Amino acid sequence: MKILFHSFLASMLKESFFLLSFYNTYYYVKNKKKFWKEINRRKAMSIFEYKELVKPIPFCPIETIRDSNFYGQAYALKQYAGVDKFDWSIEHGLYVDDYVPMAARCKTTERIMTFSDIRVKGLESVHKPVVSIGPYIHYAECMVNHEEMNLLKRELGRTLLFFPTHTSCEGGLEYKVHSMIDELLKFKNQHGFDTVIVNMYYLDEYKKGFGDLYAKAGFKVTTAGHQLDINFLNRLKTIISLADYTCSNSIGTHTGYCIYLNKPHLIINPAQTLDEVEPLWHDLWKAFESNSPQAQIQQQILSHKYWGFDCVKSKEEMRSLLLNNK
């Protein structure tokens, strides 16, 4: 019943500017102090304090569109462009088809930002302004300075970064953690890595405690944080920047981010067989299940295509987009 009510409320808010404004004002006033206190507390934490970083954060709608308050994307774009307003909707996941989520058709979603030109074409049916801006990670800033980054890299040595597939969210894939740990230990030893970092999705740690299993295996556990943390994308860029090599057991947004940041990426112990993967995703899975020279070329081609590497905006271009309401 509670889930149904929240779903109903969300749909109402997406269709009414008045209700959305009332809702945002109420939660902004109610949670503003607690929100900023928590954001500043977490900003000062080490990226390895994963148990604290995944804890809930009071909802404080800085951005008008509810979904644009997630994952620190709007915050990073505003900081990059040097503006304090943001009234776009941002697509959070990677799409390789012309699927249109309900939120894109809603009345309060007036304009949409996404990764690539091919996705812009896939959203033509919404008949709204849609713009490609490339991989969002470009616009984020590392949360440590150059000297601190070098110190961390010296401490960690040659580092492998692993992104487990999300299990505790819509469309999440289940996988066997202990089997994954065995594969990571094998991969680490075969390729001579000093450290393995596991980047946990906040719900998988908060609800399932998966991070502890990886920590007990001798891995360093981190997280980009809770979805309401405005430093989520900045922290993610910091984590990826630490790595020498990256891997996952599925394709996700992180895949293209790693390639964009010049970190090799490989799928190991995949959470799905190719037969279980939707046909439109086959090219991506095939490309990233191999590290051959030919596969690496294909990885670059597909990353440019779906993450829009050639769609990145300059600071001036992004500022113009964010200040133009038309």
The CA–CA distances, whole Å, from 177 to 78, 211, 252 equal: 37, 10, 18
**5 pLDDT higher than 60:** no
Q: What is the DSSP string of 151-186?
A: HHHHHH-SEEEEEPPP-SSTT-----HHHHHHHHHH
What pLDDT, on a 0 to 100 scale, did the predictor assign at position 12? Answer: 75
State whether residue 276 is helix, strand or coil. Answer: helix
State pTM to two decimals: 0.94
What pLDDT, on a 0 to 100 scale, did the predictor assign at position 187? Answer: 97
Q: How confident is the model at residue 168 (pLDDT cuts 50, 70, 90)?
A: low
What pLDDT, on a 0 to 100 scale, did the predictor assign at position 179? Answer: 93
Q: What is the pLDDT of residues 32-78, one digit of tens each?
A: 999 999 999 999 999 999 999 999 999 999 999 988 999 999 999 99
Q: What percent of the chain has pLDDT over 90?
A: 82
Q: Which residue has the higher pLDDT, 227 or 8?
A: 227
Q: What is the pLDDT of residues 92-143, one digit of tens each?
A: 989 999 999 988 999 999 999 999 999 999 999 999 999 999 999 999 999 9
Q: What is the pLDDT of residues 304-320, one digit of tens each?
A: 999 999 999 999 999 99
How is residue 302 written in tokens? 């597909």
Q: Where are the beta strands (DSSP E) in 159-314?
A: 159-163, 195-200, 220-223, 245-248, 265-267
Sign of the torsion formed by the C-alpha atoms of 107, 113, 115 and 118: positive
**230 pLDDT higher than 70:** yes
What pLDDT, on a 0 to 100 scale, did the predictor assign at position 9? Answer: 66
Q: Write the CB contacts of 1 (distance below 8 Å, at least 6 apart in sequence).
A: none
Contact status, residue 53 vs residue 229, Cβ threshold 8 Å: yes
Q: What is the pLDDT of residues 192-210, one digit of tens each?
A: 999 999 999 999 998 888 9
Q: How many helices (H) and strands (E) does the chain have?
A: 15, 8
What pLDDT, on a 0 to 100 scale, did the predictor assign at position 154? Answer: 97
Question: What's the whole-number average pLDDT of the chain?
Answer: 93
CA distance 259 to 324: 31
